[in-house]
Amino acid sequence: MPQETISYLPLAAVLIPLFAFFMILIAQHNALWRNCWSVAGSAGTLIVVGLMYGLISEGQQVIFKIPMIVTPYNFFFNVDQFGFLFALLISFIWLLATIFALDYMNHEENRGRFFAFFMLTLSGTVGVPLAGDLLTLLLFFEIMSLASYVLVVHTQTKEAFSAGNLYLYLGVFGGMCLLTGMGLFYYSCGSLVIAPQACLLEGLNNYLVYAAVLMILGFGIKAGMVPLHIWLPRAHPVAPAPASALLSGLMIKTGAYGIFRVLSVIYTPDSSEMAADTVSPGALNLWAWTAETGYIIIWIGIATMFFGVCIALIQNNIKKLLACSSISQIGYIIMGIGTAAYLGYDGAMGVAGATYHVFNHAFFKSTLFLAAGAIVYLTGELDMRKLGGLRHKLPFTSIVVLIASLGIVGMPLFNGYASKTLLHHAIVEAYEHHHLYSLFIAEKIFTLTSAGTVCYFLKFLYFTFWRPAPDTLGEIKTEPVMMKIGMGALALSMILIGIAPYFVLHNLVGPTLNAFVLDSYLVNYLLNINLFIIEDLAAVALALGLGGVFFYLFRKIGFFNITGIPYWLGMEFYGKLVGRLAISTWGIVTLPFVMVQNYVGKQTQGLYNRMFSFLQHVDYRPGDSAVFRTVNISNIDFSMLLIVVALSIILVIAFYLRFVMI
């Protein structure tokens, strides 16, 4: 067991942006103070999270508990290496997005409200990986979801409110799924601590299975996995660019974080079980259930990554393309989580691959959304068909986008290569585990999806930056300084990660494996893996080559001229259809009860009216009522008399239960 250290640092990490939220509300009309509090809130959070590194690097867990007054449960923080990595990532990128927003938001209204809820969302988001139990995690998860709704609808257009409502409805539904799942889990195990639970070794009853499904569903909505992804292409394009960067780069990762914790931590045996000479039957059964669930999650991830690529290819709006790309990239992460669960004790490659890709995707997708914001800020346009030649007009943004694009397609020496290589190893290991042909097919879809990613980023680069600029584009000013600082710092980080993948693997990703129950031999193998062998480089070359061929063919046949799929083929159409069908079915099922209710209501309405009239008569018209004069004793009116009688009855019953029943 790791040593536990009590520290105020996790509490400070969530209170600093919360304090900044209130201060910005006070000073929201003063641009200087508003900006200072925004940067101070983000920077303060990063500093406090960074201060935990000394303890975390020594293998300690940072804990802090606040006794809850109204519930028997504590407000509980418990930070291990895995949670620390997420918190560090969130606070670092949030700071850079805040710096970018200082200039970007100059052309927006209601800037004070935006920055205030920007800080409140940070408080909720950074609190998720710092939480030590599911109830505390749910609290921060809901703060993040509700506060970020204000960011989504910031422009207050009809489209923004429509997207925001969908985001809010699904967020509330996801929260209810989480709450119900946690309730079922607590009913069965009596604990909500994020750690392996001994009760699971006694066997998985229906409540525990339903709890896992509901929690995965709730976290899956936020992650944007298919078919729960429909809010992503709607919410990201309408939100201001800094908010879109964080929605896609960070907030959807909290959903992946939750699925990680449920499948690979809570629903796994304790490390002491695996250290014993003989593994207990309960542990074997639990591993078997987790493997079956992991297989399903693998295919959900595969479907998510492939579907995301398909819809990204037909997008012409830059932010919609990036939103669809996020769906695809979260599919890679979900697939990695699935392989980790499927392989169980041998799942180190899946854990490391998914965690590393969370880290990398946060950088290149945040960068790309900020770059999209710079483009619309300076040109007023997001439609790629109306853009072109920006490599000459916006050379800084062009270089940043190129770096991020090379990272996301998995080009060697850029940051996405290492994580995609580990994920490819993970799906290959999953196939070799039982030699299921379906997982062999999954690996081929993985490669095809990687090629599709190359294709739609070639489309993005060509139509926006490389082809000649249209005559209607005109002159464009250069990017403001703060926007350059935000994008430039992210681009530099991606270059450093790309040229030093082993540093990140050994110092950031590797230590997170201690939070999971994994075979130490395979963990050691992973940490000493060679990422640049010919087979891995050939796999990347195949994806790059296929992507280039797809781009050439699609341009030739005019595929990129498609403006979008028909509405009746979209998931949102079928979601609304299912919703209407459910409402109609519920109406038919409950019709007899409604008829009885209406009948009883009509019958009791008259009695209610007569009783109310009587009480009103005796209580409020004392001069005209003989009844009032009868019951009015020592100036006690009728209402007070009723209360006295009721209390007397309660006291008699209490006396009887306390003394007579003994």
Q: How many percent of the chain have pLDDT more than 90?
A: 23
Closest CA to 249 of 215, 224, 230: 224
Give, for 460, the enclosing helix (H) or strand (E): helix 437-461
Supply the pLDDT for residue 568.
44
Contact call for residues 351 and 402 (beta carbons, < 8 A): no
Domain spans of the chain? Answer: 4-268+293-579, 590-660
Cβ atoms within 10 Å, residue 395: 13
Of the given ranges (62-66, 253-257, 276-280, 630-634), which has the lowest mean pLDDT?
630-634
Supply the pLDDT for residue 42.
92
Contact call for residues 118 and 101 (beta carbons, < 8 A): yes
Q: What is the mean pLDDT of residues 483-487?
A: 90
Closest CA to 297 of 349, 267, 351, 341: 341
Sheet strands side by side (includes 4-6): 4-6, 61-66, 75-79
CA atoms within 13 A on the CB side of 295: 14
Higher-pLDDT residue of 614 and 312 is 312
Contact call for residues 132 and 83 (beta carbons, < 8 A): no
Higher-pLDDT residue of 542 and 468 is 542
Residues 478 and 471: their CA atoms lie apart, in Å, by 19
DSSP 70-83: SSSS-EEEEE-HHH
Contact call for residues 337 and 263 (beta carbons, < 8 A): yes
Supply the pLDDT for residue 91.
92
Q: State the average pLDDT for the chain.
A: 83
Any residues with CB less than 8 A from the CB of 573 and at least 6 apart, and which? 567
Residues 111 and 101: their CA atoms lie apart, in Å, by 10
Say whether the peptide bond before residue 227 is cis (omega within 30 degrees of 0): yes
**Which residues are registered as beta bridge partners of 193?**
133
Query: Counting beta carbons within 10 angstroms of the beta carbon of residue 344, is it exposed (0 to 12), middle (13 to 18) or buried (19 or more)?
Result: buried
Residues 153 and 643: their CA atoms lie apart, in Å, by 49
Query: Counting beta carbons within 10 angstroms of the beta carbon of residue 109, is it exposed (0 to 12), middle (13 to 18) or buried (19 or more)?
Result: exposed
Residues 321 and 167: their CA atoms lie apart, in Å, by 18
Supply the pLDDT for residue 640.
63
Instruction: Give the pLDDT band (50/70/90) at residue 569.
Output: very low
DSSP 383-439: BGGG---HHHHSHHHHHHHHHHHHHHTT-TTSTHHHHHHHHHHHHHHHHHHH--HHH
Supply the pLDDT for residue 400.
92
Q: What is the mean pLDDT of residues 454-461?
A: 90
Of the given ranges (19-23, 215-219, 558-562), which has the lowest mean pLDDT?
558-562
Supply the pLDDT for residue 627.
55
Helix axes 534-557, 416-434, angle to 10 degrees: 100
Q: What is the mean pLDDT of residues 339-360?
A: 90
Contact call for residues 116 and 25 (beta carbons, < 8 A): yes
Q: Please state the pTM of the whole predicted model.
A: 0.82
φ, ψ for residue 636, nearest 5 deg: -90, 115
